[in-house]
Structure formats: C-alpha cells, structure tokens
Amino acid sequence: MPLHNADIAETFRKVADLLEIEGANEFRVRAYRNAAGTLAGLPQDVSTLIADGQDLSELPAIGDDLAGKIAELVDTGALQALDEIETRVPPGLSEMIRLPGLGPKKVKALYDALGVDSIEALREVAESNKIRGVPGFGEKTEENIRDALDRLEGKEQRLRLLDAEHVATPLMEYIRAIAGVKRATIAGSFRRRKETVGDLDILVTAKRGSDVTKGFIGYGEVDEVVSQGSSRSTIILQSGFSVDLRVVPEVSYGAAMLYFTGSKAHNIALRKRAIRKGWKLNEYGLFDGDDRIAGEREKEVYDKLGLPFIAPMLRENRGEIAAAAKGALPDLVTLESMNGDLHCHTKASDGKFTIREMAEAAKGKGYDYLGITDHSRSQTVAGGLSDDELAAQIDEIDALNEEVDGIRILKSSEVDILEDGSLDFPDDLLARLDYTVCSIHGAFNLTREKQTDRVVRAMDNPQFTILGHPTGRLINERPAYAIDLEKVMQAAKERGCFLELNAHPSRLDIDDTRCKMARDMGIKVAISTDAHSVNGLEMMRFGVEQAGRGWLEAGDVLNTRPLDVLLDLMKRQGR
Ligand code: DGT
Ligand code: CA
Ligand code: CA
Ligand code: ZN
C-alpha cells in the first residue's frame, strides 16, 4: 500500500501518543511529534524523495534513526517500533488522547480503572455514567467527554491542501495515461485552493468508445469502488479519501468545470443570473431553450452572462459576482510579485540550515530580501536564542550582508509574546533588529478578552512589527485560541503593525476570510513561510493562494514591496 506524507506523519503521531501514555522520555515523544510536523510540511511526497535518492536525515527534525523509520514505512507499509508499543499499550488509546480535554494521564487513568481502550469503549462508560467514579474525574469531566464524543461523530475527515496534492499528483498522472483520455483536470475545492479538501472531483474528456472507467477503478490505491458508470464513478482510496470522476463531452467541458469547481453557492448565484436572462445553466452548458449558447469553455459562459472570468479562488459567493459585474474584481497577488520572505528559522534555533544557505536559497527564488526569525529566549525547546546569541547573530548578519550579493538578509526574531503581553527580549536589543515577528507559543487557554488584551499590549511596544500566525490554529490538529481578531486588527492599524499570513499548509493563519477583513480595514498582510529548511521556502505558494481567496492584491501584501519601501513601511514611531 503506497504511503503518502500524511499517513507517515499520522503513524509518527500515534507512536508519540502511545509513548506519552506509557510515560516514556519526553524528548523521545517530542522527536516523533517534530518529525510528524516536518513531514506535514514537505513540499514533495517522501516516497518521491527516497526514489530520488535524497538523504532524509537532512530534513528538519529528522535524524538517522527517524530517516530509517520513514524508509521502513515506505518500503514495508508498517513500523516495527509501533507494533512493539502496541503490544504494551492498546492502539485505541491514541485516538482517545486526541479528544479535547483528555490528555495522556487521563487516558491512562481510564484504561487502568475501567479498561477503556477505544473511543467506542469510552462512549459506553460515558453514557453509563461510570467515568465520574474514577479518581480525578467528576460529573463535569464526564459531561465534557460526552460533548467531545458528540462533536467527534459529526466530524468528517478532510485533507489539508498539500496532502490532497500528494494524493492527486500520482493519480492525475495515472488518469492522463489511460487510453483515450484527452483532457483531465481537478475541479472542486481543490481547484478553488481551499485550505482543506473533502474529496477530489476530476473531470475528463475522452475519445469516443474508450473505457475510462475501467482504467480509473484499476488504480493501484483503490480500496473500494463505490459506484461505476460510463460518465460517473466514485472510488475510495486506501487512505480513506474519496475521488469522483466524471467523463464529460467536449462541448460541455467548460460548463462542467464551472459546475464542479463550485462552490455550490457560487453556482447557485450564477444560475440565478442565467435565469434572469431567460436562460438555463447546468453542467452541460448554458442554454437558450434547447440551444447551447456556451459550454465548451468556462470563459464563454461567464462572457455570455456579462461577466469577466472569475478566478476559482474567488468562487465562494462572497461578493465576487457583484464585483465582477462592476468590473471591480481584485487583481490577485501572484507568486511572481512576492519580493521576499519575512519568517524563517535557521540552525541557530530549530531550523536545519545556516543563514547563508537560507539566504542563497531565497536569492535563487528571485527574492530581494529574507528575514531571519529564530526563536526567542523563552522557547527553550525550540532552541530559542539568548540575549547574547541574538546580539551575536545580529553581528553575523551584518558581516554576511557584506559578503553575500544579490539579496539582503534582514535581522529579525520570532519573539514570544509572553503571557503578560511583554516581549521576550529587552527593548534595546529588539531595537537593533530591522523588524520583529511577534507570536504566541504558550498560554493558549486564556479567555478571549485576556488573549486579545495580551496581543494588543504587546503591540503597544514600538518594537512590535508583525503578528506571527495570529490565531495559532493547526489545521486538523489544534483549534485557534480564543481571540478577537477584529480588535487586534484595529489595534494593529492604529499602531502601524501588520498581520502575518503564515503560508505553512498546516497553518494558513490568518485564513482567507480574515485576509479579506484585513484588506477591508486597510491593514497590510505579510505572507511568510515560517520555513525551517530550504524546502520550507516553497510553501509560499500556499500562502499566496489563500491570500487570493481573501481577495488580496499585491498592494495589500507587505512583502511584495521593494526593500527600501518595505523598510520604510515597517518603521514605527518610537523605534
Ligand atoms: P469538498 O469536497 O467538501 O472539499 O468541497 P467541494 O466544493 O469540492 O464540494 P463537492 O465535492 O461536494 O462538489 C463539487 C462541486 O460540485 C461543488 O463545489 C459544487 C458542485 N455541486 C455539488 N453539489 C451541488 C448542488 O447541489 N448544487 C450545485 N449548484 N452545485 C453542486
Ligand atoms: Ca470535492
Ligand atoms: Ca465530490
Ligand atoms: Zn511560531
């Protein structure tokens, strides 16, 4: 069974969970978690890297041991280390630990006291009120567990966009090679570049008489064929991810693309517009009576409806149709317009490369500047720099800028916003930096009011430039902390601060709707990769796409600016 990065990351998380429940050394637990994080952020599928002969131990947070384990998983589909732990700790405990409110200690206590070894078993004891009798648990905890279980039930598993790409790339290669296939494109949320994807919707056109369906259901990763027909089939892959395939006539290709790209809300709004003109719009075309007046290309359909082409990223019925009708669609920011990256880590903290290596890579991407933002002193687990180390790094960068041509290395730091809203380095040291990225890395559980206050207080410090990953969410892993972003944005605007759109596919923080909010409020957004390796710089495209979903133009983005303009924009009074 072919494994993608998401599967391997999931296996590592499971090992970490079980080790933690067992009470293993915390560094070992963290090693697996960090490796899972690295895999989650790799632009290429790890099986491809191995096939290309790449040394996996060069990746951040992956040493020889874990590189070997990844190879073992890719080769054999299994991991001996996991099998061994599972002889000691029931595998179901790993799912339990993911339930909000249930940490490793509580899970262990429930297992020891009641033998609860799975989500199902947990549901049973929760419903028969047995949990409240276990020492350390009460009625309130029991109720919270029941609520968490209810929420779990309604939850569908969606893949992060990057993981969906890892599934889609080899599949599309396979489909394009099926005899008779002419055109093949992915529509749906994948084409709209949504942060997570529920299933893949693939459209193909084919030569008359070719059996595309037979080829499609013969794909090596298929677990189940849900339905098959000459024009429509659905399969479920071994990873549990499902794929819809539709074979459409050439004359309907554009209309089908439009329909299956969605969103549903956008489709409905377009169809209403067609009806107002006395026409009918469906997946086969735009019809005036029985006459197909458009259908082969998307653009024709929009054209007939009196609209310019609307980029798939904007098709969410958030005002794009009205804007299009007025000729007021945003001219979306592009990867080519990005002039630099303002958030990355080096060997000095938890990155894998030197400042020079990161800078050379950024230069290779055509950037004019790269900001170095290693962690600050409180982040001991992430190799945070001490005051002296930051001072030394500042000198090092000054010296490097003398040597390295063609790119300016900016002096910065990812400074922790401490619980009381103060910044994690003294002001006089921060004043020596070109700018700062200030982030929350702990005390996630404050009330919404306190969390908001904390950030606003931090912004009061003139050394504050950009708010890093503003909500702290990790897609599919950790919800955002409670915070009033509108208030935060207002404060940022008043003080001349900026918000980050962290481009990492696990973060995409701030998200598309918040980007639009920032644009509407006139606050510039920094799209930054938070790269921990040279590879990590590749994630910029995900940030740019989400920015596009949030209607951002190049002018709304801080780091599209040339260096001198950027430095000028980031200058705050009192700095
Ligand atoms: P997903 O898969 O949950 O990430 O999101 P989508 O947008 O890919 O949704 P999906 O796969 O259910 O359907 C693909 C597209 O098909 C959807 O974006 C719009 C279109 N579509 C599906 N159901 C309907 C419907 O009932 N009415 C209309 N107008 N369009 C629909
Ligand atoms: Ca879909
Ligand atoms: Ca679908
Ligand atoms: Zn961070």
Nearest CA to ligand 1 atom 8: 188
Nearest CA to ligand 1 atom 5: 189
| Three-state secondary structure call for residue 556 | helix
- Rounded to the nearest whole angstrom, what is the distance from the C-alpha of residue 202 to the centroid of ligand 3? 9
Pocket test for ligand 1, best of 264, 268, 512 (most atoms within 8 A of CB): 264
Report residues whose beta carbon is within 6 angstroms of any ligand 1 atom: 188-189, 194, 197-199, 201, 259-260, 262-264, 267-268
Atom index in ligand 1 nearest the CA of residue 263 equals 18
- Rounded to the nearest whole angstrom, what is the distance from the C-alpha of residue 267 to the centroid of ligand 1? 9
- Rounded to the nearest whole angstrom, what is the distance from the C-alpha of residue 232 to the centroid of ligand 1? 15
- Rounded to the nearest whole angstrom, what is the distance from the C-alpha of residue 92 to the centroid of ligand 4? 31
CA of 198: how far to CAs of 157, 212, 513, in Å? 7, 23, 19
Would you state the structure tokens that stand for residue 250, as one six-digit string?
């050439």
SS (H, E, C) 55-117: CHHHCCCCCHHHHHHHHHHHHHCCCHHHHHHHHHCCCHHHHHHCCCCCCHHHHHHHHHHHCCC
Atom index in ligand 1 nearest the CA of residue 267 equals 29
State how far the Cα of 142 lies from the Cα of 129, in Å rounded to an integer.
Answer: 7
Atom index in ligand 1 nearest the CA of residue 262 equals 18
Q: Which helix (H) or strand (E) holds 30?
A: helix 26-40
ω before 510 within 30° of 0 (cis)? yes
- Smallest Cα–Cα separation from 194: which of 369, 291, 316, 106? 316
Nearest CA to ligand 1 atom 1: 198
Cβ atoms within 10 Å, residue 410: 23
- Rounded to the nearest whole angstrom, what is the distance from the C-alpha of residue 470 to the centroid of ligand 2? 28
- Rounded to the nearest whole angstrom, what is the distance from the C-alpha of residue 436 to the centroid of ligand 4? 12
Task: Quote the pLDDT of residue 265.
Answer: 96
Q: Which ligand is nearest to the CA of 265?
A: 1
Nearest CA to ligand 1 atom 21: 264
Nearest CA to ligand 1 atom 2: 198
Nearest CA to ligand 1 atom 15: 260
- Smallest Cα–Cα separation from 491: which of 526, 453, 527? 453
Atom index in ligand 1 nearest the CA of residue 156 equals 3
Q: Which ligand is nearest to the CA of 232?
A: 3
Q: Which ligand is nearest to the CA of 198?
A: 1
Q: Are 466 and 500 in contact (CB under 8 A)?
A: yes
Please list the rounded mean pLDDT of every run of 10 residues in the chain (575 residues).
86 94 91 91 87 89 93 93 94 87 89 93 92 91 88 78 96 97 98 97 95 95 94 92 96 98 96 97 97 97 98 97 97 98 96 96 98 96 94 98 97 98 98 98 94 98 98 91 96 98 97 97 97 96 98 98 97 84
CA of 59: how far to CAs of 32, 47, 55, 81, 165, in Å? 13, 14, 8, 21, 20
For all residues of the chain together, what is the average pLDDT?
95
Pocket test for ligand 1, best of 201, 232, 245 (most atoms within 8 A of CB): 201
Task: Quote the pLDDT of residue 155.
Answer: 65
Task: Quote the pLDDT of residue 156.
Answer: 63
Nearest CA to ligand 1 atom 28: 264
State how far the Cα of 4 lies from the Cα of 46, in Å rounded to an integer.
Answer: 7
Q: Which domains does the chain have, with CATH numbers?
A: 5-153 (1.10.150.110), 159-247 (3.30.460.10), 265-325 (3.30.210.10), 335-569 (3.20.20.140)
Cβ atoms within 10 Å, residue 337: 16
For the chain, the residue count is 575
- Rounded to the nearest whole angstrom, what is the distance from the C-alpha of residue 500 to the centroid of ligand 4? 11
Atom index in ligand 1 nearest the CA of residue 196 equals 4
Cβ atoms within 10 Å, residue 137: 18
Q: Which ligand is nearest to the CA of 500?
A: 4
- Rounded to the nearest whole angstrom, what is the distance from the C-alpha of residue 130 to the centroid of ligand 2? 41
- Rounded to the nearest whole angstrom, what is the distance from the C-alpha of residue 338 to the centroid of ligand 4? 21
- Rounded to the nearest whole angstrom, what is the distance from the C-alpha of residue 498 to the centroid of ligand 3? 37
Task: Quote the pLDDT of residue 60.
Answer: 86
- Rounded to the nearest whole angstrom, what is the distance from the C-alpha of residue 201 to the centroid of ligand 3? 5
Q: Which ligand is nearest to the CA of 262?
A: 1
Pocket test for ligand 1, best of 267, 268, 286, 314 (most atoms within 8 A of CB): 267
Q: Which ligand is nearest to the CA of 504?
A: 4
- Rounded to the nearest whole angstrom, what is the distance from the C-alpha of residue 231 to the centroid of ligand 4? 47
Atom index in ligand 1 nearest the CA of residue 266 equals 29
Task: Quote the pLDDT of residue 71.
Answer: 94
